[in-house]
A and B are shown apart, each in its own frame.
Chain A
């Protein structure tokens, strides 16, 4: 891109969304650089999922603009846009009539990759999320545990080597050990490939660990973005409320 780093990777400009006459998102603005992870932290119903769904045009904003690599997404073809964004939806949403392997290979197949390449990519991803393809590839979603399905959902989102990931509580149903492992892999992947992500979570320690910046959403309004260190020292009421949920006084893991 001609302007190099001058153009942020993903920008929200005063974005609002209205559902049944009620403002679900209000004047949301932020800019995200390549390789950054913006954690959206907020209570249930605060508008986090809605914010993600605006990015891949599952929902149209009532007002405001969203730019991806300098392009107004409203001017892009929604199908092509969605295929270049990896999305882990909150309810996972694997196709029940497809095997895990077929689910994970969905976007590459839609994109017309050769079959052998799809298979190779699927196997690589399944190993990455600790679902060995020999054992899990040919199973159907209902033959997996909730956490295993969630990991398959993560693998599917990574399949097309997207530069932007939308993660809606992707590790919610996992035991702490597996979650920790996937969080580490996530950090590794992000740093290696410079992937930008919007990461939704309720979990403060996850937010502190994964976010390069943290944005609090309260009733559809996004506060100033904070680094994890700033967040820890924040005096904002909602931030304090979240920090108070931590069992011990938090220390940023290195």
Chain B
């Protein structure tokens, strides 16, 4: 009976966890890539956005969740605050890898593309994004894996997810409950890492092989 309800909790909370991480990483990817692209066109924006994202990442997650609670509309108790927090954390790896990936595009290749008469858009679409894609993908992978871990803390502010089991276990000194939250979270991270790593390798080998 206890086992049955525990298993059901694990199932529901794992789904919730995936939802939290999925939404947060999706938004972080869109925002991070867009900001990264804009940053490669505008050095000021690039340094400001990288600095802000780095600072955000140095704030301990528990503190960041805490900071957001009293803020009206965007903050408060609940899942939306948790997601906002996770987005802020996931932003840096995506943003940084987008900037790095695009700026590492082979300089003569970029120069030739411009010299042949590509517009800024064509350069982005045909040259910069395809060549930066593996690096950007690596950033997304880092974001997803770390967010899966960080999301366990979301339970503190009523965000749900596998952290609920962990905090319940900590509060009632129930090791089983802690493990019931921690193990699925770890497995989730390992699985996400494997899948995204595979995607990344596929993008990389699909075309260029070693750089010339």
Query: Chain A 95-115 against B: per-residue CB contact (8 Å), 1 yes, 0 no?
Result: 111100000001100100000
Contact at A83–B106, with CB atoms within 8 Å? no
How many residues on A have C-beta within 8 angstroms of the other chain's C-beta atoms?
A: 28
Given contacts A96-B208, A149-B212, contact A110 B114 (CB under 8 A): no
Question: A79 contacts which of B106, B117, B126 (Cβ < 8 Å)?
Answer: B117
Chain B CB within 8 A of A58 CB: yes
Given contacts A93-B111, A94-B109, A96-B109, contact A106 B209 (CB under 8 A): no
Residue of A nearest to B110 (CB): A93
Contact at B212–A142, with CB atoms within 8 Å? yes
Least distance between A110 CB and chain B CB atoms (Å): 6
Question: B113 contacts which of A92, A95, A141, A143 (Cβ < 8 Å)?
Answer: A95
Chain A CB within 8 A of B44 CB: no
In the assembled complex, which residues on chain A have CB atoms less than 8 Å from the CB atom of B130?
97
* Most chain B CB within a 10 A radius of its CB, from A56, A80, A93: A93
CA distance A95 to B211 in the complex (A): 10
Chain B CB within 8 A of A65 CB: no
Question: A94 contacts which of B117, B209, B212 (Cβ < 8 Å)?
Answer: B212
Contact at A92–B112, with CB atoms within 8 Å? yes
Chain B CB within 8 A of A89 CB: yes
Question: Mostly helix, strand, loop or mixed at chain B's interface?
Answer: helix
CA distance A93 to B114 in the complex (A): 11
Contact at B109–A95, with CB atoms within 8 Å? yes
CA distance A87 to B111 in the complex (A): 11
CA distance A143 to B210 in the complex (A): 10
Within B166-212, the residues touching A (CB, 8 Å) are 207-212
Least distance between B110 CB and chain A CB atoms (Å): 8
Given contacts A82-B117, A83-B116, A142-B212, contact A91 B108 (CB under 8 A): yes
Query: Chain A 58-77 against B: per-residue CB contact (8 Å), 1 yes, 0 no?
Result: 10000000000000000000
Chain B CB within 8 A of A48 CB: no
CA distance A111 to B118 in the complex (A): 10
* Most chain B CB within a 10 A radius of its CB, from A58, A95, A106, A143: A95
In the assembled complex, which residues on chain A have CB atoms less than 8 Å from the CB atom of B108?
89, 91-93
In the assembled complex, which residues on chain A have CB atoms less than 8 Å from the CB atom of B106?
93, 96
Contact at A96–B119, with CB atoms within 8 Å? no
Contact at A140–B208, with CB atoms within 8 Å? yes
In the assembled complex, which residues on chain A have CB atoms less than 8 Å from the CB atom of B116?
82-83, 87, 106-107, 110, 156
Could you list 20 examples of A-B contacts with CB < 8 Å? A58-B111, A58-B115, A79-B119, A82-B114, A83-B117, A87-B112, A89-B108, A92-B112, A93-B111, A94-B112, A95-B109, A95-B126, A96-B211, A96-B212, A97-B208, A106-B116, A107-B116, A110-B116, A140-B209, A141-B212
Contacts from B to A (Cβ < 8 Å): 106-119, 122, 126-127, 130-131, 207-212
Contacts from A to B (Cβ < 8 Å): 53, 56, 58, 79-83, 87, 89, 91-98, 106-107, 110, 140-143, 149, 153, 156
Pick the 9 closest A-B CB pairs, nearest first: A93-B112, A93-B108, A91-B108, A82-B117, A83-B117, A97-B207, A142-B212, A96-B208, A97-B208
Beyond A56-B115, A97-B130, A97-B208, 11 additional contacts (C-beta under 8 Å) are: A82-B114, A87-B116, A91-B107, A91-B108, A93-B108, A93-B113, A95-B113, A95-B127, A96-B207, A140-B207, A140-B208
